[in-house]
Every structure is written in C-alpha cells, then in structure tokens.
Amino acid sequence: MPTVPSRARLTAARVEAFACPPGKSQAFLWDTDAPALAVRATPTGRKTYTFESRLHGKTLRLSIGDVRAWTLAAARAEATRLTLLVDSGTDPREQKRQHEAEQAAQAAALAAQAVTVGEAWAAYLADRRPHWGERHYSDHEALARAGGQSAVRGTRGRGVTVAGPLHPLMSQPLRELTTPAIEAWAQREGRTRPTVARLAWRLLRAFLAWCSEHPDYRAAVPERNPAKSRRAREALGKPQAKDDALLKEQLPGWFAAVQAIRNPAQSAYLQGLLLVGARPGELLGLRWDDMNTQWRGLTIRDKVEGERVIPLTPYVWHLLAGLPRRGQYVFAGEDGDKPMSKPHKAHASACAVAAIDGLTLHGLRRSFGTLSEWLELPAGVVAQIQGHKPSATAEKHYRVRPLDLLRLHHERLEAWILEQAGVQFDAAQQPGKLRAVGG
C-alpha cells in the first residue's frame, strides 16, 4: 500500500480518497494552504475537518465538522478565522461558550416576552404553596379566578360569581404589566371594590418581586417593581379602621335575637364568635376532632401561627355539644362535607331585631377584646386567646401561659358576658342539654 503523506494541498478528491491506515486509531492529513487545517479519519470511515494550533504554550485542537457537511472552502475559512483568534490570544472555546450563553439568554428573553401573567401566576402559586397556609393560597386563587359560575349564595342576587380583581390581568403578556398598566387597573378596581383590590394589589406586588428573581421571568419585568406606585396606592385608598363592637348595654337584646334564630348551627356559631373571640373563618372551620372534652380545649386553626389551643368554656361547650354531627365539621353545611356559609343575613336580621346597626361578624371578635376590658383581663391573655401576635418583648419571650391559666380568665369573661346579657345558665349541667333563655 502506498504511503499516505501527512501534509498535502487538500482537494475534494484527496479528502474523498483519504482513509485511516489499518492498525491505527486515527490519521491526519494536513493542508498546505491552511496549515492549521487537517482531515481526521478513523477506522470506522468517519472523516472530519480539524483545527490545531498552540495557545499559551499548550496544544489546542478543535473539531470543525464532518466533511460531508462542510465544503473544503468553508473549512479553510473557519481554520483561518480560528487562527486569527488564537494569534490574538483568544481561546475559541471560551468564545463559543460565551456565544452559546448569549444565545440561551436571548432565547430565554424571547420566551419571557411571550409568557402571560396567568402562566407566570400559576408557576408562582405552585412554587410558593409549600410555604403558605391554605387561607393565603385560596386568596391567591380567588382573586385571580374568572367569574360567570352559577352560584346560589354569595352573589348578591346576581346568580353568578364575579371575576376576581386580578383576573383581567391574567391574559396579558407579563412584559406589559407596567406601572401605567397597574395604575389604570387600580383606578378601575378602586372605584368599585377598594378593600379586596387593596389585597389583590399587595399580592400582585409580591408576585412581581418573585418574577424579578426567577430566571424564567426576570427578563420580562423591570428591575423596579411596577406595582410599587404611589398613584396605584392612592387610587385604592386607605383602609378605614373598623370600630363596630357590641356595647355592654346591647348584650341582652343581641343574645335574645341570636338565640331566636331557627337554625341552631347559625345561632351557636354567632354566640361562639362573641365568646371565643376567633376570626369568623377560624371558627367556621372547627372540626369535631378539634374539641378536647377531657382537657376542655379547642384547637383553632390559626392563620398566623398555624394553630392555637384555647379553653373550651362551659357555655360554648354546651352550645357545640347540642349540635347534630353531620360530618367532620362542627358547623356543617347541608351536605356535611363542607362548613356552612357564614350567616351574614341571619346575623343582620338578628341585629335589626335588637336595634343594633352595622355589627359585622368580625365585629363580634372585636367585641370579645373590647368587653374583656370591663374585667381588666391581662392584655396578653386576650391576645393569646384571639391569636394576635405578642406586641412586647416580655410577651414574646417570657410569657408561656398554660391552658388552665387561660381558662381562669376566659371562663370569668364568659360568665360576666352571660350575666350582663341576662342569660340563665347552669355550668354544671350536662353538655348538650343546654336550656338558656334571655332575661
């Protein structure tokens, strides 16, 4: 077999005829016109154009490409380009990595430009759900939910649900969620439902902060959070402090009207709100398993701390024990699988009978704290029962009140409220056999 030269002027014919000699793992045929260019052949018959030079005292070898994909002229041009880079001290491999990184960044930017607010919002909820409570997660879902669903309750006579304040933004491209767009949204929502829109705005602001840190979405949002706008905040207005609460003198009329409600679960729920001091949603989600009759405790699922245990006071115990068991929830709905709806209408009707204006369900929780001042109960005790965060260093680090100590104060407050309301109640009677009437 004739000896194959190691260097020759490459031609299409020579490239075609070049082969790896038997017994060798590879062979090179170097070009005389472009000295850094060679054809590399392997025993399998594969042939590629190869570049070789020296950079910073070390051999640098790069594959240009398969001879079937590259013409000889194109391979010589590429070898020349790589030679110029090496002669200038530039590593072609590093340049390639930078180029690929730039291409990837451009592709990510293009993808981010196309993503909608709804797509990013769904990713945001999936990412943050392990760190949120159920109430916080459901708020995000409800505020972005589409309307138009048939419903019997909670629609104020419309018969269909109303879209959440964030829903109009969900179909927009994320890149178009600019400060002017958010300000225009705040103007619209602030005119009709400012309270829920303020919550939506706070959630939107946190969402955009998350987008600015996420590699898939940061290219679509500006560095400065577009929701942090003075005009948007002003358009939504300031929340008005609520002051609705029962006066001591109103207790007899309120109890008489609420006890006259024909639905026992609604009646017990409203009385429980006043006597337990829980948030309306917390008490509504009470399960039978949350009642510990041995140690007379109630486990309240707290939106702040996760859960808290408060005393199961005698009157509340009798109220709850007298309710029928229709599933896991104490205040069960008709099907028993979910809690009943909040009895806003029933309470409003009772308040009208008692000539009490503007008292909300949350106002009953506020009444618990207000009425406790008549007995000068320790503020920390009331805060612990209601699930408020401690407001002082001593409360945070040096006050750990057991259930029995809370019960001492809580039962005293319950007895005083019932006395002021004229409710005759024997705490010694069997739970569930309650016979209480307004005086």
pTM comes to: 0.58
Q: Is residue 102 part of a domain?
A: no
What are the CB-based long-range contacts (under 8 Å, 24+) for 257-260? Answer: 257/350, 257/351, 257/353, 257/354, 258/347, 258/350, 259/436, 259/437, 259/438, 260/350, 260/353
Q: Above pLDDT 90, what percent of the chain? A: 72
Both 273 and 417 in one domain: the answer is: yes
| Contact between residue 116 and residue 170 where contact means Cβ atoms under 8 Å apart | yes
Nearest of 372, 410, 382, 409 to residue 245 by alpha carbon: 372
At residue 4 the predicted structure's pLDDT band, cuts being 50, 70 and 90, is: low
Same domain, 267 and 210: no
Same domain, residue pair 163 and 46: no
Whether residue 109 has pLDDT greater than 80: no
pLDDT band at 348 (very low <50, low <70, confident <90, very high): very high
Pairing of the two strands 291-292 and 58-66: unpaired
Q: What is the dihedral of CA 81, 84, 89, 93, to 10 degrees?
A: 10
Q: Which among 121, 235, 122 is positioned nearest to 185, based on CA atoms?
A: 235
- What is the pLDDT at residue 395? 53
For the cut 70, the answer to whether the pLDDT of residue 171 exceeds it is yes
- Residues 204, 252, single domain; the answer is no
Q: What is the pLDDT of residues 391-405, one digit of tens each?
A: 655 455 445 688 889
Res. 431: pLDDT tops 50: yes
Tell me the C-alpha distance between 253 and 69, whole Å. 93
According to the model, what pLDDT value does residue 335 have? 79
For residue 335, with 0-12 CB atoms within 10 Å meaning exposed, 13-18 middle and 19 or more buried, which class applies?
A: exposed
Mean pLDDT of all residues in 80-102: 91
CATH of the domain at 32: 3.30.160.390
Q: What is the pLDDT of residue 161?
A: 85
Instruction: Compute the average pLDDT of residues 325-348.
Output: 90
- 352 with 309, same domain: the answer is yes
3-state secondary structure at position 50: strand
Domain that holds residue 28: 7-90
Could you give the number of structural domains in the chain? 3
pLDDT at 241: 62
On whether both 213 and 257 belong to a single domain, the answer is no
pLDDT, one tens digit per residue, over 180-221 is 999 999 999 999 999 999 999 999 999 999 999 998 888 888
Q: Is the pLDDT of residue 154 over 60?
A: no
Are 312 and 397 contained in the same domain?
yes
Answer yes or no: do 335 and 391 share one domain: yes
13 falls within a domain: yes
CATH code, 323 = 1.10.443.10
Q: Which residue has the tokens 């020296």?
A: 54
Query: Across residues 36-51, what is the average pLDDT?
Result: 96
Structure tokens that stand for 338 in this block: 């979910």
Average confidence (pLDDT) over 67-80: 95
Helix boundaries (H) for 311-402: 314-321, 344-353, 361-371, 379-386, 393-398
Considering the domain boundaries, does residue 97 fall inside one? Answer: no
Q: Is 314 exposed, middle or buried (0-12, 13-18, 19+ CB in 10 A)?
A: buried
Please indicate, yes or no, whether residues 153 and 292 belong to a single structural domain of this protein: no
User: Is the predicted pLDDT of residue 224 greater than 90, yes or no?
Assistant: yes
pLDDT given for residue 159 in this prediction: 65
Q: Is the pLDDT of residue 346 over 70?
A: yes
Least Cα distance to 141 among 131, 126, 155, 153 occurs for 126
- Considering the domain architecture, whether residues 14 and 63 belong to the same structural domain is answered as yes
Task: Report pLDDT for 113.
Answer: 73
CB atoms within 10 A of CB 211: 24
> Averaged over 252-265, what is the pLDDT?
96
pLDDT value of position 111? 67
Whether residue 342 lies inside any domain: the answer is: yes
Q: Residue 105 falls within a domain, yes or no?
A: no
Burial of 60 (0-12, 13-18, 19+ CB in 10 A): middle
Measured CA to CA, the distance from residue 274 to residue 290 in angstroms comes to 19
pLDDT of residue 252: 96
Question: 292 pairs with which residues across the strands?
Answer: 297
Residues 226 and 302 in one domain: no
- Tens-digit pLDDT profile for residues 293-303: 999 999 998 76
**Would you place residue 305 in the very low, low, confident or very high pLDDT band (cuts 50, 70, 90)?**
low
Residue with tokens 């099907």: 335
> Residue 268: is its pLDDT beyond 70?
yes
Same domain, 355 and 400: yes
